[in-house]
Amino acid sequence: MNTTNKILSVKHLSKIYNTLEGETNCLSDISFEVNEGDFITIIGPSGCGKSTILNIIAGLENKYQGNVNFTSNCEIGYMLQEHSLFDWLTVEENALLGLKIKKQLTKENINYVISLLKKYNLYEFKNSYPKNLSGGMKQRLALIRTLAFKPRILLLDEPFSALDYQSRLSVSDDVYKIIKNENKTAIMVSHDIAESISMSNKIIVLSKRPATIKNIHNINLSINKGPIENRKAKEFSTYYDQLWKEIDKND
């Protein structure tokens, strides 16, 4: 995990929205780098423009100033706020949706998705519909759908925000382990300090609008067993206090 292989650099990113009420400065001079294997969390007050950064990286927003450079040609997977499964499609069809849309339904890709479904205990439900799955299974399925076309970078936009606290813990543990297992690089947006510390090796703290980078923390926990266990690390509360103070001032 300590590779220093840089795969993405964001330089002097700014974004201005034009509305009838006037110009809104959304992002202002955001710069950071992402190395292979990183789990980076972007944290900041709600509405500060965290998701906009992900949208720009994903190529969903084209109007911005600054540069987003990938060091190699890499596929990006985007996991949205809610699992957004299609209830009229079966589990398997949902998992294959991205491939179908991208016209990449090759035998190899299908087999890969099936292997993921098997590995993460969803294969026996492949012909059922999402409504029959538990919250955690839905989230795993959404992640498999994202992993289907083998992205190197995963973008996670508050992926657990729709869940209650208990499920949030167990699902984040699930998702974290899958991401690490599949050797993916991840950039997550969150407003939960504990979640951020427990999952990431780097936390970018944003200010309120227009969002600037307040600080970038490198997180080094003595325990590395996934989000639930990581919370027991002795450094956890120190990081928590630091971040709490930083974010609190902004509100």
User: Which residues form the interface with another protein (CB under 8 A)?
Assistant: 58, 60, 76-78, 80-82, 84, 86, 88, 97-98, 101-102, 129
Kindly list the distances between the CA atom of residue 236 and the CA atoms of 30, 61, 200, 230, in Å, as whole numbers in the listed order: 27, 35, 12, 8
Query: What's the min distance (Å) between Cβ of 89 and another protein?
Result: 8
* C-beta of 15 vs 217, nearer to another protein: 15
Query: What's the min distance (Å) between Cβ of 172 and another protein?
Result: 19
Query: What's the min distance (Å) between Cβ of 78 and another protein?
Result: 4
- For residue 45, the SS3 value is coil
Query: What's the min distance (Å) between Cβ of 97 and another protein?
Result: 8
* C-beta of 76 vs 187, nearer to another protein: 76
Give the residue from 17, 133, 126 showing the smallest Cα distance to 65. Answer: 17
Is-contact 136 174, C-beta < 8 A?
A: yes
* C-beta of 127 vs 166, nearer to another protein: 127
Kindly list the distances between the CA atom of residue 134 and the CA atoms of 83, 125, 181, 228, in Å, as whole numbers in the listed order: 12, 11, 22, 19
- List phi, psi (to 5°) of 146: -75, -35
In whole angstroms, what is the distance from residue 121 CA to residue 170 CA?
A: 15
Distance of CA 87 to the CA centre of its chain: 23
* C-beta of 18 vs 132, nearer to another protein: 132
* C-beta of 185 vs 201, nearer to another protein: 185
Query: What's the min distance (Å) between Cβ of 2 and another protein?
Result: 30
